[in-house]
Each structure stands twice: as structure tokens, then as C-alpha cells.
Structure 1
């Protein structure tokens, strides 16, 4: 009962876009009742809004450990993996959502986004071997649109910019 009250307060702050306060109340709800999947799911959503994808991933994973049929938990887990550049893991999460809810349009779109990132990764790998660094930069720019928190993509882009002699740009990426 107390945990539910904390969750409701968290929801109110989330609705006002006060994500730090929402985070605090969802944490209180979790501390009071640590076996509720939706509390972890709510805190994961809040952390995502704060751009804290690694922490959000942990909460999303905990939510689906507690309830494997929690659709929003699987969706949030995928939506944490993708910005971090884990497109294959994201795909698995979105596929799980579609197993649970085959009409989930958000999961369908996110699965396409994850496939796009995987495709850009493959192309970049081939082009890097061919030493076509300009094309690798292009691919990493496209991949970073979906995976803005991916250090691996940023490092590869910076490395290729440096190999192209574009040092100031390389430095600003890294």
C-alpha cells in the first residue's frame, strides 16, 4: 500500500517531466516492495528520460526477471540496449515483445531500427577493411542516430576521421 503510494507520486512527477523526483519516488517504491516488476519498469523509463541508459538497462532487466510476461519491461530493455549500440540484444528483446504481443507496433518499428544499426555495422566493417574511411564515418553517423550513447561507434568514427586527416573533427567526437 505504501509502495503503491510512492509509485503514484512518482507517476505524478514523471507526468510533470520532473524525472529526478520521479526517480526518487520509484526508488522508494522499490525499497518498500522490491518484487514488483512495474516499479522497476517505471524507474527504468525515468532513467531513460535522464539519458542514463546503462542504469535503466539494469532496472528493465530486473523487471523482466520478476515477470517474464511484462511487455513494457522487454520493450524498455530493448530501448536501452539500442542507444548503447547493442543492436543484437535489442532485437532479441523486441522479438520477445512480439511473441507476447504480435501487434505491438512500437516493437515492430524498434526491431527495424535495430536491423538498420546492424546493417550499418556490417557495411562499416567491410569498408574499414577496404580502407574506405569516409564511408565508415557515414555509416557510424547513421548508426549513432539510433545509438547515441554507443562509445564503440564514436571511437570508430573518431579513428576514421583521424585516418582521413580530419583531426579537429576526430577530437570533437572522442
Structure 2
């Protein structure tokens, strides 16, 4: 069964037992998602135990950067217990790490629908929306996280990243400062290169902390959604890569969406490089 489940997961399919109906007001898209039907029947203890064991395996694989294998584990965990929102949230994280942002959004929406009181589900929705350049929806998700957990600095940083992109795109720093609730001149020691002044018209990005397991294809899948790419140079000996876009706004969007993304077990850091 495991091989079939993994194959369906990687092809974008979902086993019948995992399907839920998401109302349109929950998805943020007209009509909801008609591929899912309700399922909230009780799950026996043996199935719950099996699902939790599979989820632990998936979490360990994810920490090792083996996100594709982790997707298979989380998918099989969902087959045994489709009512646990954490399995969908964790699979969403893996899909995001693989650059499969539409699949990541689908799972994040399911997780949020199953448990809307958990901040992490809103955060995963926000990250998926952001990767798909759905900035308004992403903003609402990160604001929902802060409403539940005001101390969540990660959500606050994501809002600042969205504001940085808006400031560069519109050329109106004050408007973006109001949009994010933080002045654009506020120092950010952890991510200084996100500031618009550092971006300028730079079209190239230096991606650092890249593990030997990262491939050029992974980087293309990860950075391609943000604009037309000119080149990708992967330098494993220096644990870095240089990504070049055709337009500087693409580089700005990529920094805002991908800064700190975990790729093959490591959080990458991104800074603007010389064109």
C-alpha cells in the first residue's frame, strides 16, 4: 500500500479516505474545492497509533531534508487518520520545501479548516499564499497568526517582507510601512539585505547555507515562481548558489518569500548580489 500512496501523493492525487470539502469562505477562492468530501467519522485507536508512528517517521525524514519521502509518510498517515490537521500542515511544509506551492496551499487550507484555532495552520497558509504571489491573502493569514500569538516573530517578519516588496514595487515606503505596521527604516539585524535600499535594481541573489544535497533542479523549482530566471549557478564547494533574474522585482519577491526557507535540512539565507 505504501508505494501506491506515495505515487498518488507525488502525482498530486489524494487517497479517497483523505478527502474533505472545504467551503469557499475557508479557501479564499470561489467555489471551494470540489475534489474533497466531508469525513469526520471516529477513528479507532489502532489507526490513530499507526498514523502517529508514520507521522513521526515523516517528521524525521523532513528534518533530514528528505521531503519527498516525508510526503509519502504523511500521506499514509492521513490514510489511517484523515482528521488530524497536523498531518496536512506537515505535508504542506514538505510540499513548500519541494517548491510544490499549489499542493502546499491545498494542504494548508485543509489543515486550517480542520483546526482553525491552531496558529501554525494559518502560518502555513500564509507561506503558501506568499509563494504563489497572493500577497493580500498571505497578509490576512499572518495577521491571523499574530492575533492568536502576538509573540510570533516569524509571522511579523513575513509581514515585513511583504511590505518590503510593496515598497520597492510602488516606490512608496510610507504606504508600505502602514501596510505592515512597522516603519520601513526599522533595523532588522537578521535579514539586513531585505531593505529596499540594499535591493536597488539588483537582479541577482546570493543563496547561502546550501547543503550538498541541494540540486540545481530544486533551486529552479523554488525560485522560478517569482519571475523569469536568467541563470542558476550552484557552488557546492562554497555552500552557495547565485540566482539571476531578468527583472529586479523578481529578485525582491523571491527574497521576501524564501528568506529562511528550510531546504534539505538547512535554513537558507539570501542576500542581494552584484548583477
TM-score tier, shorter chain, comes to 0.7 to 0.9
Q: TM-score, normalised by structure 2?
A: 0.47
State yes or no: 1:116 paired with 2:226. Answer: no
Q: Is the 8 A contact 1:44 1:59 kept in 2?
A: yes
Structure 1 unaligned blocks of 5 or more: 125-133, 149-174
Q: TM-score, normalised by structure 1?
A: 0.72
Q: 1:145 aligns with which of 250, 255, 272?
A: 255
- Size of the alignment, in residue pairs? 138
State the SS of the aligned residue for 1:82.
Answer: helix
What is the deviation of 1:114? 1.5
Match of 1:66 in 2: 114
Match of 2:13 in 1: none
State the SS of the aligned residue for 2:151.
Answer: coil
Match of 1:152 in 2: none
Q: Is the 8 A contact 2:158 2:256 kept in 1?
A: no
Task: Tell me how far apart the structure 2 counterparts of residues 47 and 140 of structure 1 sit (CA, whole Å).
Answer: 22
State the SS of the aligned residue for 2:59.
Answer: helix
Q: Is the 8 A contact 2:112 2:121 kept in 1?
A: yes
What is the deviation of 1:9? 1.0
Higher helix share: 1
State yes or no: 1:87 paired with 2:135. Answer: yes
Cα distance change of structure 1 residues 141 and 8 upon mapping to structure 2, 3 Å threshold: closer
Structure 2 counterparts to residues 9-20 of structure 1, below 5 A: 9-20=57-68
Structure 2 unaligned blocks of 5 or more: 1-48, 173-200, 202-246, 259-275
Match of 1:52 in 2: 100
Match of 2:126 in 1: 78
State yes or no: 1:6 paired with 2:54. Answer: yes
Aligned-pair Cα RMSD in Å:
2.0
Match of 1:172 in 2: none
What is the deviation of 1:142? 1.9
What is the deviation of 1:43? 0.2
What is the deviation of 1:141? 3.5
